[in-house]
Amino acid sequence: MNEPTILKGETCPICHQATLTLMETAYEIPFFGPCSLFSMDCENCKYHKADVEFEQTHDPTRYTLEVSSEEDLKIRIVKAASATIKIPHMITVESSEHSNGYITNVEGVLNRIRKQIAQARDDSEDPAAQKKAKTYLKKLDKVLWGQESLKLIIEDRTGNSAIISEKAEKKRI
């Protein structure tokens, strides 16, 4: 990883104030090649956008990983804004214009999903939806504690996402 390039005082696309910070950091991802992580953060309106971009082009890809141990939680994940994340029978997080790209690990992805489910539970007034969310949160907690397993799928039509592990199954889509 190189030192990030930072530009401060740029104009925010949302609030139009000169309070936007642009940051670009170059990474070398094993088995995947060089990439850059871009982010925009506004001090004024708190707008945030991030994405991952690779120097090389890749085929549309689906990665599948059976998360079955605490060690699996450490597996590196590169998720572009264009990627969809799926946990079968639980949740699908579709890409959209508001999606962000990031580099993290399996634990980081599961914690992000956990946060989304908890927010949906808290926002819902439907007792059945709240109960379902509570069940999903318990399942995620058990996976995060290494007590249960689940399947994690990342699909990316641009090929700019990856699960960096020999344990992950990779297929062209």
Q: What is the pTM of this model?
A: 0.82
Same domain flag for 66 and 30: no
> Is residue 31 over pLDDT 70?
no
Is the predicted pLDDT of residue 57 greater than 90, yes or no? no
Q: Provide the edge-to-edge strand list for the sheet that holds 5-10.
A: 5-10, 20-29, 33-42, 48-54
164 and 94 in one domain? yes
Last residue of a domain, one of 56, 71, 88: 56
Based on the domain organization, do 145 and 81 belong to the same domain?
yes
Give 1's pLDDT tier (boundaries 50, 70, 90): low
Residue 49 makes CB contacts below 8 A (sequence gap 6+) with 39, 40, 100
- Residues 31 and 108 placed together within one structural domain of the fold: no
The continuous run of DSSP H or E covering 139 comes out as helix 127-144
Q: Which domain holds residue 155?
A: 57-173
Average pLDDT over the chain, rounded to whole?
A: 93
Beta bridge partners of 52: 37
- pLDDT at residue 169 tops 90: yes
Joined together, the tokens standing for residue 150 give: 């689940």
> Binning pLDDT at 50, 70 and 90, where does residue 76 land?
very high
Q: Is residue 94 domain-shared with residue 113, that is, in the same domain?
A: yes
Confidence bin at 28 (pLDDT 50/70/90):
confident
By mean pLDDT, which of 30-34, 137-141, 154-158 is the weakest? 30-34
For 33-42, 51-60, 97-106, which range has the lowest pLDDT when averaged over its residues? 51-60
Same domain, 105 and 160: yes
pLDDT value at 71 more than 90: yes
Q: Domain count for the chain, please give it.
A: 2
